[in-house]
Structures are given as C-alpha cells and as structure tokens.
Homo-oligomer: A and B are copies of this chain.
Amino acid sequence: MELEPIKIVRIFDKFAIYLSKDIYQILPLTFMLGFFVTFVVSRWLAILNGIGWIDNSAMAFAALIHGDDEKTKLLRRTLIRYMVLNQALVLRDISMQVRKRFPTLETLIAAGLLTSTECKLIESINDHYSRYWVPLQWCQQHLCKARADAKIVNDNLLGRTLQEVHTFQQGLATLLKFDWVPVPLIYPQLIFMSVRIYFILCLISRQFLKDSSFDIWIPITTMIQFVVYMGWMKVAEMLLNPLGDDDDDLECNYVIDKNLITGLTLVERGSSSPPEMEKDVFWD
C-alpha cells in the first residue's frame, strides 16, 4: 500500500510533536553551557597570565644590573632578547599566528631575535622539549656571571632577577602543559555536539504544523534561540582556544613585538641615573 501525501504529512506532524516534547529537559543546554563556560573562563585567564609579560623582568634588569659601559648595556639587551626569543620558541609551537610568522628558526634570525651562532647551538640539541628553555638557561648563566662580576651587588638581588626569569618561564610552561593535556577532549566535544543536535531537532520540531492555527512562516523564537545559544557556544569555543587564528583570539605576535620594544626601552635607561630629587610642593 502506497503512502498518500496527506498521511505522510500527518506522520511528520506527529514526529515533530514527539520531538518537541520535553526538549528543554532532554538537552539541558543552559546548564551545560553555563558550567562549561565557567570552567573554560578560568583556563583562559591562566593562559592570558601565562603568555608572558616582560615588564617586571626588564625593570629588574634595568635597576639591579649596574654599569654604564657598553658590555653591561649589551648584557641587559641580550637578556631581554633571550626572554623574547624563548617566548617566540614556545608560542610558535602553540599558536597558529606565531607559527605562520616564524615557520622556521631562520625566520627568527631574520627578525633579529636569534643570531646564527645561537641558532646552531639550539639545533644541536636533540630533545625537542629541552630546546624551549635554552635561551632562558643562557639568561640564568649570564645573571650568575653578572653577580660574579659584581654588576649585581648582592646575592639577594641576584635571587630577585632569577625569580623574574623563573616566573616568566612558569607561565610559558603552563601554556605547554595546557597544550599537551588540553581539556579532557570528550568534554567540549560533548557540549558542542549537544548544541548541534539540539538545533537539528529544532529544525524538525519547531515547524508550524498543518494543524496549528497560526503560521508566520518564519520561526522567530527558534531563530532568537539559535543566535543566543550559538553565541554562547562561540564564547566557549573562543575561550577554549585563545591561541588560535581568529580575530577574537589573543594577538600573540603583538605580545612578542610589544615585549621586545618595551623590554629594550626599559633596560636602555638602566645606566642613566634617576632625575635629581627636588622638594615636592607639599613640603613644609
């Protein structure tokens, strides 16, 4: 027996009613998205803090490494360069933007972050993971030497500068850790799949049925809901991978450039004395 068109329509209607029943409870998108966004927000903050800001280190180098000869000046500049180089080395394995800018170590030489001698030294290391930290190791060695040369005047201050380098490295190590164990992969997949299934169900169930007394052709409420949930999901996706290639993602290349400029500018002033003290206007 053939199905008459009218019968198919009726079956479709029943199917749509069946699907629309309790849909809010069956796929509790609200809570899934709410809890998930709360989770990724804290992760996003950790990444934002870990990406590395050179201000503190630069100020410490400028204030605590004394000497206005050319060699000391070179030392301070080299420390900054090594830290930015380290950041670039780590970020090019994590962020698509930085990868595109520095596809090979040679491009780092071209950008002035690396010399060819240093490049060879880095390439001579076999363990890929160890390579990341080589420039920071050089920093530490230079700082210890600066203490031995009495450019850093006491052990306590040496400790402070080493601590700044350490903090910088901790942040980048956090990024590497998040890159290695992103989030239990199944968690975001589950969330994003649920949102998609939800709207597939809506495609069928939210149609104006033959029997319904009202039909405006355009399912306004479902469209609003689509915008809201898709927007929320987009927030979650963006917070989950802030080092991607999108417009909304963190601009890692900008951070690298800013670090280099700010770092060099700050240490450049290290040898110059602060301005002569004058009595302030509130002095009585």
Contacts and interface: CB of A to CB of B under 8 A. Distances in A.
Interface string A205-233: 00000000110100011001100100110
Nearest to A41: B39
A184 interface: yes
A8 interface: no
Interface in A78-104: 78, 81
A248 B190 CA distance: 14
Contacts of A282: 77, 112, 260, 264
Contacts of A25: 24, 30
B127 A261 contact: yes
Given A140-B64, A160-B162, A169 B59 contact: yes
Contacts of A262: 127, 129-130
Contacts of A62: 137, 140
Nearest to A259: B129
A278 B113 CA distance: 11
- Copies of this chain held together in the complex: 5
Contacts of A81: 280
Max chain B C-beta neighbours (<10 A), residue from A234, A238, A260, A277: A277
Contacts of A213: 14
A256 interface: no
Contacts of A238: 184, 186
Given A26-B225, A63-B137, A228-B27, A248 B158 contact: no
3 smallest beta-carbon distances between A and B, as pairs: A63-B140, A112-B281, A138-B274
Given A26-B228, A127-B261, A155-B156, 5 more contacts: A14-B213, A63-B137, A117-B276, A126-B265, A157-B162
Interface of A: 11, 14-15, 17-19, 21-28, 30-32, 34-35, 37-39, 41, 44, 48-49, 53, 55-56, 59-60, 62-64, 66, 71, 74-75, 77-78, 81, 112, 115, 117-118, 121, 125-127, 129-130, 133-134, 136-138, 140-142, 144, 147-148, 153-160, 162, 166, 169-170, 173, 177, 181, 184-187, 190, 194, 197, 201, 213-214, 216, 220-221, 224-225, 228, 231-232, 234-235, 238-239, 248, 250, 258, 260-262, 264-266, 269, 273-283
